[in-house]
A and B are shown apart, each in its own frame.
Chain A
């Protein structure tokens, strides 16, 4: 039976070798993912938006404002102070050009002209105020839709004063927009959305930056979670709940933002099957399939060399030793596990240290029902 020990050690070495290879592949994939940063196109309309004369026209007038806002927000080649004064000086100009453009395109025939002009003036005033007081306001965004029981209108949304809303003309009132709806079923909302999109164009560069940044960070988080779900050790429902409580208690999960997976997994009353070998047992009874219950354990699943340990109880009827003994289990690479049981001797036998390999060691990774069945059958033969 001493050969058995050698065989087991050899087996562990072979598995470690394969695990290193797997780990190297994982790192390579991770690096590839990190390198996938998309280029950011700022202050550029989409192809679809470019085709619409209203959106394109208003946007082109406000394009310099778009670039200044990008500089203002992330610090480009213009300092915050210069951007501030430049933007404020130009706002009046943008506003007048925008209004002239709309009048020209619609032939003053878009309905409720005075109210619309007043709303656009209000919009530019709010942009100016945001520049003056960056912390007390939000960058205005023109919204189209109904509020409460009112009809469709333009507004700056729930962050702004509702009184400054512009109620859209009906189709009968607005000849220009009546001619531009897609179907008899459509409200005037769609054509007015184009005015809103054009005015909102001043912040598309800023929006694009924030979206790209958030898409990238959330995709990275998602990839980490995916890795955790696929690579970390399998947990039972009890493990999962204990793990969650401990990681919450340790402050891993944050109240105010999303986080990736914890670095350490925890296990509580985790049942496993083991194959235990005790030198001092009589021939034919030295090796035996047994039960193990990991009372409490942890696993550093994403360490450079993933490892873990747990305090375990091992139970099996033995000839020269007590049936239950404390043990320590170790895990490597989220896959392999072995341990040592500290057996109390009886019938005049001294205490002895037994060696065991965990069921997971035999399974080469995550168990499936069929996998378990196969291994249970094998173990039963011993």
Chain B
């Protein structure tokens, strides 16, 4: 039995949803190879899938902040007007509407909460406990982690802090020696760790210990990016840029299909045949030797991409391309604006598409 830990991204994620999306996505991807239901179920029976959910905690915090600000604003009615009140009003605006469910509230606020408040270190400690317990129970060579979006930053920062060069037994610090307890595989789906490290002050991904080999803490790294997902265009992560990566154990997969109006969606990342087949091979003892060749993967991917949404979103790629490199001059504010613009345009395209009476699907990130 192998332990699979799922870590979600930005936004609200009710408990259990990610697990369902994971299984649904895997089934979609594996069905492109012609795997039978029995084979897929056998594969799942060898996995112990759990999710680390920090969404409930962040939701609660957002709600608390919004309620506190809202109550204070209403408290203004007890006082006459003067400039303290004016400042008071402006300051309390900062917290109002934080739980209104909009993209700005649920996504970018999560980034701010993770990068610029104590909540970041708090959830890193929680994840560290889960990793330690899983490694003890299953063995580090049977632990796999799938992280999506903001979850990639959380995982990256936690791993860097949990595995240390100068680790000592009973030094009062939660740490493993590098290279000796490597987690079997880490799947970065829409990795944003380079983006968040701009503002969080955490270790830069190309200098960190979240890499494979003797000086790292991971065996197999699979980095997956969707060509149309704006979050992966900005300060793209590429594990092969890390000077200590081990090439044979590192893989980049670029997805070029758009199966939903939200190309950042977790389920779509997993549903890609190449991701699904490599995951089931790594996460179970299902015999997939017949399907894993380059030719069969290519064939399954073509089949999968056949009903991809129209390529209009490629236009969006051209608009944001100037931000994809690594110029230090890019400001975080510009990145936020650019991503918002992309999502606005995706929504417009979606409306246009729906007007043409074609089926469409949506979903959370």
Q: Does B65 interact with chain A (Cβ within 8 Å)?
A: yes
**Known contacts A271-B72, A291-B84, A291-B85; is A376 also within 8 Å of B78 by CB?**
yes
> CB distance A158 to B38 under 8 Å?
no
> What chain B residues lie within 8 Å of A143 (beta carbons)?
141, 184, 219
> CB distance B98 to A269 under 8 Å?
no
Q: Does B79 interact with chain A (Cβ within 8 Å)?
A: yes
A193 to B139, alpha carbons, bound, how many Å? 12
A152 to B124, alpha carbons, bound, how many Å? 33
Q: Does B182 interact with chain A (Cβ within 8 Å)?
A: yes
> CB distance A291 to B118 under 8 Å?
no
Q: Does A302 interact with chain B (Cβ within 8 Å)?
A: no
Q: Which of B158-166, B230-238, B344-352 contacts A (4 or more CB under 8 A)?
A: B158-166
> What chain B residues lie within 8 Å of A317 (beta carbons)?
80, 82
Q: Does B70 interact with chain A (Cβ within 8 Å)?
A: yes
> What chain B residues lie within 8 Å of A200 (beta carbons)?
139, 141
A243 to B172, alpha carbons, bound, how many Å? 25
> CB distance B92 to A291 under 8 Å?
no
> CB distance B65 to A237 under 8 Å?
yes
For chain A, the bracket of interface size reads 35 or more
Contact among B43, B78, B88 with A271 in the assembled complex (CB-CB below 8 Å): B88
**Known contacts A141-B141, A236-B69, A271-B88; is A219 also within 8 Å of B129 by CB?**
yes
> CB distance A210 to B169 under 8 Å?
yes
> What chain B residues lie within 8 Å of A316 (beta carbons)?
79-80, 82
> CB distance A372 to B174 under 8 Å?
no
Interface residues of B in 241-295 (CB under 8 A from A): 246, 248-249, 251, 281-282, 285-289, 292, 294
> What chain A residues lie within 8 Å of B70 (beta carbons)?
369
Q: Does A174 interact with chain B (Cβ within 8 Å)?
A: no
Binary B-proximity of A316-331 (CB < 8 A = 1, otherwise 0): 1100000110000000
> CB distance B67 to A368 under 8 Å?
yes
Most buried by A among B39, B74, B121: B121
> What chain A residues lie within 8 Å of B98 (beta carbons)?
237
Binary B-proximity of A221-265 (CB < 8 A = 1, otherwise 0): 110010011000010111011011101100001111111111000
Q: Does B213 interact with chain A (Cβ within 8 Å)?
A: yes
Q: Which of A20-28, A109-117, A120-128, A182-190 contacts B (4 or more CB under 8 A)?
A: A182-190
> What chain A residues lie within 8 Å of B126 (beta carbons)?
222, 225
A143 to B179, alpha carbons, bound, how many Å? 13
> CB distance A369 to B67 under 8 Å?
yes
Q: Which B residue sits closest to A243, measured CB to CB? A: B118
> What chain A residues lie within 8 Å of B212 (beta carbons)?
158
Contact among A190, A197, A211, A315 with B285 in the assembled complex (CB-CB below 8 Å): A190
> CB distance A258 to B121 under 8 Å?
yes
A243 to B120, alpha carbons, bound, how many Å? 13
Q: Which of B16-24, B130-138, B302-310, B357-365 contacts A (4 or more CB under 8 A)?
A: B130-138
Q: Which B residue sits closest to A160, measured CB to CB? A: B214
> What chain B residues lie within 8 Å of A272 (beta carbons)?
72
> CB distance A258 to B124 under 8 Å?
yes
Q: Does B173 interact with chain A (Cβ within 8 Å)?
A: yes
Binding site for A on B (CB under 8 A): 38-39, 42-43, 64-65, 67-72, 74-80, 82-85, 87-88, 91-92, 94-95, 98, 112-113, 116-119, 121-122, 124-126, 128-129, 132-133, 135-136, 139-141, 158, 160-162, 164, 169-170, 172-177, 179-182, 184, 201-203, 212-214, 216, 218-220, 246, 248-249, 251, 281-282, 285-289, 292, 294
4 A-B pairs besides A159-B182, A262-B118, A273-B78 with CB distance below 8 A are A187-B288, A258-B121, A271-B88, A369-B70
30 contacts between A and B (CB under 8 A): A138-B214, A141-B141, A146-B282, A148-B249, A149-B292, A149-B294, A158-B213, A158-B248, A187-B285, A214-B176, A215-B132, A217-B174, A218-B129, A221-B125, A221-B129, A222-B125, A243-B118, A244-B116, A247-B118, A257-B161, A258-B121, A258-B125, A261-B122, A271-B88, A290-B79, A291-B75, A291-B76, A292-B84, A367-B71, A376-B74
